Structure 1
Amino acid sequence: MNGLIIFFSRTGRTRRVAEAIQEVTGFDLEEIKEKVGRGGALGYLKSGMESTRRMIPQIIPLKHDPAQYDIVVLGTPIWASNMSSPIRAFTTENKNKIN
C-alpha cells in the first residue's frame, strides 16, 4: 500500500507530527505551501479570521498527485475550531482526487 502524508504547519508542530507518522509508515511526505506567508502576530490573526470565515487562500501546486496513492493522510492545525485554511484550499482543489 502506498500512502501520502499532506500537511500544513504554521508553527512547526504539525510538521513534527507528520514527520513522526512518516517514520513509522514510510509514506511520502508533502507540505502545503502558500503563495503569501502568515508569520508573526498578524499571521496568527489572519489565520483565525480565514478559518472562521472559511476562506480559501492560494496554495502552491503539490509535487505529488494524491490520486496516485491508496491512502492520503492530512495533517492540519486547528484554528478557531476549524481546519486550517490552507488544508481547506487543498481539499477544495483536490476533492475529486481523494475519497
Structure 2
Amino acid sequence: MKKLLIATLLGLTAASAQVQAKTLLVYYSFTGNIEKAAVAVKDQTSTDVIQIQPAQKGLNYAANNYSLGSDLVDQIRSKPNDASSYPAIDPVDVDFSKYDTIIIGTPLWWSNMAAPMQTFLFHNGKAMAGKKIGLIVSSASSGISG
C-alpha cells in the first residue's frame, strides 16, 4: 500500500509539473516576418514572448545586399568563442528555470542565424541546457547551413 501511495504521489507530481510547464519564444526580427510568426504563436498559445533588439539602433542590415549583416556573421564565424565578436544586444532578463520549452525565432542571413540572435544564444545557451528547443526561421532566398 505504501509503494502504491508513493507511486501515485510521484505520478501526480509529474502531471502537475506538466500542467505548469511553460514555453518561452525568444525572437529577433529585422523585416517583421519572424515577428508575425511570434505574434501568431502568442495569440494561439500561452507562450511568453521576448524580442531581441540590437543595442545599436537604426542599422540597415539589408543595405548593400546585407553586407553589414554578412560582416557580423563572418566576425562570429571567425571567433565563435570570443564574446567580442558578437554584436551587442539590449539586456534581456529571463528566468529560464520557469520554462521547459524554448522556441527561437530568427531570420537567416546568408544561410546563417541573424547575428543578434547568435549573441543571445552565446550568452544564454548554457542556461537553456536540458530544455526542449523549437526553431522558427525565415529566409527570403537562402537555405540553412552550418
One of 22, 26, 46 as aligned partner of 2:68 = 46
Instruction: Provide the identity percentage.
Output: 27
Moved over 4 A (4+): none
Give the gaps of 5 or more residues in structure 2: 1-20, 77-84, 130-146
Please say if residues 9 and 76 of structure 1, whose CA atoms lie closer than 8 Å, have aligned partners that are also in contact.
Answer: yes
Give the deviation of 1:47 after TM superposition: 1.1
5 Å matches for 1:13-92?
13-37=33-57, 38-39=59-60, 41=63, 44-54=66-76, 55-92=85-122
One of 109, 125, 129 as aligned partner of 1:95 = 125
Give the deviation of 1:66 after TM superposition: 2.8
Larger radius of gyration: 2
Please say if residues 52 and 82 of structure 1, whose CA atoms lie closer than 8 Å, have aligned partners that are also in contact.
Answer: no
Aligned residues: 99
One of 10, 14, 17 as aligned partner of 2:30 = 10
Greater RCO, 1 or 2 (C-alpha within 8 Å, sep 6+) = 1
TM-score normalised by structure 1 residue count: 0.87
Q: Aligned partners of 2:103 and 2:96: how far apart in 1? A: 10
RMSD (Å), alpha carbons: 1.9
Give the gaps of 5 or more residues in structure 1: none
Residue identity in the other structure for 1:77:
P
Give the deviation of 1:42 after TM superposition: 5.9
TM-score normalised by structure 2 residue count: 0.61
